[in-house]
Amino acid sequence: EPEVTQTPSHQVTQMGQEVILRCVPISNHLYFYWYRQILGQKVEFLVSFYNNEISEKSEIFDDQFSVERPDGSNFTLKIRSTKLEDSAMYFCASSLAGGNTGELFFGEGSRLTVL
Amino acid sequence: RKEVEQDPGPFNVPEGATVAFNCTYSNSASQSFFWYRQDCRKEPKLLMSVYSSGNEDGRFTAQLNRASQYISLLIRDSKLSDSATYLCVVPLGNTPLVFGKGTRLSVIA
């Protein structure tokens, strides 16, 4: 069964460092997303990406965040200067149709710990 | 009113019990609704979609009440493997999905 894969599974970094989280969406999917979940809290939308550009982003997705699809398979999330409050599980997701049709396929997540 | 609200639980039920969760949403224009399941420290996975008044899949039934702006999830004959957090998910117009905080279910032997 096709799946979304994410690397690394866990990253520990110092405050102020840059972090890149990588995702390989399901190959025939057209829409890509990043969500995050702070421990014990709800899953929060960060950004959606379609046709090589950002289609929606939340208030959380400020200038410290960026996304890129550098080739035909990878979808990355970069945090330029990490803060303590960026510590969370970051989920990549993809869908064949737009997200409001409901079926998002999530990767297993990348746990980011900022010290 | 918050966009998506759920009773956080936990709901602790014995095996074989029937349990129901409710979720209220704020956007009356929402047309489709979803229940996702999330196991501890795992990714969310789609459980059921609700596009009209309801949907049934085996032991799981989802119902929609548009007038009162809530959806429910009913689980019959609970299994130990049903223990998880159940997330109510609602799209808000064209924006991607908004997740509720989830309702935690523990099924006890």
Mean pLDDT of the region A87-99: 90
Mean pLDDT of the region A107-111: 97
Considering only residues A52 and A99, tell me which one the structure prediction assigns the higher pLDDT: A52
Direct distance between the N- and C-terminal alpha carbons of chain A, in angstroms, rounded to an integer: 37
Contact B94 A98 (CB under 8 A): yes
For residue A6, give the H/E element and its range. Answer: strand A5-7
Mean pLDDT of the region B15-41: 91
Q: What separation in angstroms does the CA of B88 have from each of A15, A21, B50?
A: 34, 27, 11
pLDDT digits (tens, 9 = 90+) for B44-78: 999 998 887 788 999 999 999 988 999 999 999 99
Go through B68-94 and write b for each residue having 16 or more CB atoms within 10 A of its CB, e for each that does not.
ebbbbbebeebeeebbbbbbbbbbbee
Residue type, A102: G
Of B87, B96, B99, the CB nearest to A56: B96
Q: What separation in angstroms does the CA of B85 have from each of A12, B49, B88?
A: 27, 17, 10
Whether the CB of A12 is below 8 Å from some CB of chain B: the reply is no
Give the gap in angstroms from C-alpha B48 to the nearest C-alpha of chain A.
9
